[in-house]
Structure 1
């Protein structure tokens, strides 16, 4: 976005604002002619969040407009407006400008960041909601109950309760979290997280263009969660999909009501809640969490499984290591190969692998029967597996059929959240007892978090 120069009347107004001379107005809303300056904040109605200016700890000159938790020790920033264009110097304001946009203006009236909308009403106002969402709306009411713009649609490194990560299936566009470059630099870093446009029923975490972690396809359950030991607090993830798009969101109650996901500069996605007793952010869980969570740990047709204190690579039933010597020294990249070739016709059979994190690179069909899903796989020579599920919960009805062509990648066993995977094999494999050998990766304790979390 190029720099925008505003008329001199704006410059004079901003100079007065920087001296603390503000028009009377609502301290929870940004109104035209009533901006906030460097030393001012705008708070949500319940006081949970604040919008204002901050500087990283190692800088006294770089300033950013952002949102943080208002009444907690320290400053936990959850959103940054101008992460790629810091203000340099001691003057600047965040304002609703004459064209109806929210803009961050330096002391000369030059916009270093803006919502940059066109064709919108000019009588707009901005408000910081109790959810931490900064919204821009028509002050007279837009008649549709929606917002012209919202920070939840433009996240930085945080994912908060009631925020949705969405993917539009028609355009391929969606929201992504992007980590800070480092703990003192909010500019975009190497890691990002969002719904996968290649296979849009799953979330992926990338380092550049390379997948670092994959959550696995959305299961038939619309909601999945867990309670704390007392049973008084819940943490629930929701998912939804239709012909228009896919979305995920989450909510917490009790002790988990004040919670957040944050994508760290290291590439770890942490989930935390505010621990009132300890007066700090306590970790619920983190991904990737161990070798089974790193993308494709066991190669094609291999899957990763926790077994006691260790993580193991195994081959699917009907497969064996491609290179026994490589597997013996811990190199699993070659994966597994079939023991017997397929007939590539309707005489092939399927072996069920239960409780699996389903493979990557699938196609989806809706509202077919289990028999139709199996038949669709048999009819295509390249189809190597399928998974079927009845949809349940909320307003959803029908079914979901996933099909895989070619190699099955990034498999893992998930005891509590996995699904049945039906793998195509030669008919002569049926009835055989297959006892795979185990290869230890590293010593690693089990994590309660990754058992519960299939989306993130």
Structure 2
């Protein structure tokens, strides 16, 4: 029932049944315990609510199961049945993770199930976006349908790994925004991320994931995809009893995907599209009328001999989905490879740490 909840050991998070506003729909989820206005960070049955406050949540074998008043299954962890080695317990941690495990195994690698593997619209510190290469799962965020409806909304935020890893914000199948590829320190198109947030990116044989932590561990902070299509960093400010937006994208029209088209770039100071030096608008009349989506074309065709490069700084790297990536060569070798490939139009370091390493070539 709504008055029976689980509370994390330090009293940070609470787990239980809830409903929103005057709705008759009931959900099972997690929220911050000490914030007056409920702030939900995870919802189990977001697309299949209970019709009343009468529900049963229990452990059955090695599964967590939510039943309605007619004892029909509304939600389940749906794990393949296995032999129960020892008593199974479920617990809520102070980082907001709700886990099911064997009572004699505290090792995270031995968890039977955890809510962090099934995010809704919120990424908490220590929670990971991206790929678990051992299980094949892809963790991503999906917005609420509206501020008062936790059902799956139109907006998703995903880490994708074709080319160099980067994150994409979409409305259904329409691409709205991308972070730029990971460059070893941060995503290349997000230089303004607040310094009190520490990016943590992991790429190995077991996972390709992004998470974060805050330098001030005593503050409540979260990344969220809003029902209106923004990806935001929020932090709770006790003095004013409000969630403050520290960072939000898209922040202006320059953040919009493919606004200026191929070989075009958006000047963040003026929010105007320009062609890279040596290029001109492909459709000059449309460009003059404000439609720059067709981008730019070369003023002079390449000769594939005697061509050179122009250094572009403070740029979000282009989408690397169809680029060639080699992590084992340096920038000099990268330049030579690009010069010797008549289809190569640009190159960059894959990683800017320690003077730069790796090679990305766009053809």
TM-score where L is the length of structure 1: 0.73
Please state if 1:74 is matched with 2:37: yes
| Structure 2 CA distance for partners of 1:121 and 1:130, relative to 1, 3 Å | farther
Output aligned runs, 1:7-86, within 5 Å.
Answer: 37-59=1-23, 61-86=24-49
CA distance in 2, matches of 1:129, 1:161: 13
Match of 2:228 in 1: 266
1:48 shift after superposition: 0.8
| Structure 2 CA distance for partners of 1:170 and 1:391, relative to 1, 3 Å | farther
Aligned with 1:355: secondary structure?
coil
Match of 1:325 in 2: 285
CA distance in 2, matches of 1:212, 1:222: 20
TM-score where L is the length of structure 2: 0.90
Match of 2:337 in 1: 376
Conserved? CA contact 1:302–1:314, under 8 Å: yes
1:317 shift after superposition: 1.6
Please state if 1:101 is matched with 2:66: no
Per-residue CA deviations over 1:397-434 (Å, capped at 9, x if unaligned) read 983321212xxxxxxxxxxxxxxxxxxxxxxxxxxxxx
CA distance in 2, matches of 1:401, 1:289: 30
Per-residue CA deviations over 1:185-206 (Å, capped at 9, x if unaligned) read 2111111011124345100011
Conserved? CA contact 1:180–1:188, under 8 Å: yes
Please state if 1:354 is matched with 2:318: no
Total equivalences in the alignment: 355
Match of 2:154 in 1: 190
Output aligned runs, 1:367-446, within 5 Å.
Answer: 367-390=328-351, 392=353, 399-405=357-363
CA distance in 2, matches of 1:171, 1:368: 31
- Structure 2, unpaired ranges of 5+: none
Rg bigger for which structure? 1
CA distance in 2, matches of 1:258, 1:299: 39
Conserved? CA contact 2:62–2:81, under 8 Å: no
Pick from 297, 315, 329 the counterpart of residue 259 of structure 2: 297
Pick from 314, 321, 339 the counterpart of residue 274 of structure 2: 314
Conserved? CA contact 2:194–2:247, under 8 Å: no
CA distance in 2, matches of 1:348, 1:385: 12
Conserved? CA contact 1:92–1:104, under 8 Å: yes
CA distance in 1, matches of 2:83, 2:179: 41
Per-residue CA deviations over 1:173-223 (Å, capped at 9, x if unaligned) read 411100111122211111101112434510001111121110000013269
CA distance in 2, matches of 1:382, 1:166: 32
| Structure 2 CA distance for partners of 1:195 and 1:144, relative to 1, 3 Å | closer
Q: Which has the higher contact order (CA 8 A, sep 6+)?
A: 1
1:256 shift after superposition: 7.3
CA distance in 1, matches of 2:307, 2:297: 17
CA distance in 2, matches of 1:298, 1:154: 36
- Structure 1, unpaired ranges of 5+: 1-36, 228-233, 406-456
CA distance in 1, matches of 2:103, 2:164: 36
Conserved? CA contact 1:256–1:273, under 8 Å: no
CA distance in 1, matches of 2:82, 2:158: 28
Pick from 340, 364, 380 the counterpart of residue 325 of structure 2: 364
1:166 shift after superposition: 1.8
Conserved? CA contact 2:146–2:227, under 8 Å: yes
CA distance in 2, matches of 1:144, 1:52: 23
Pick from 220, 224, 230 the counterpart of residue 184 of structure 2: 220
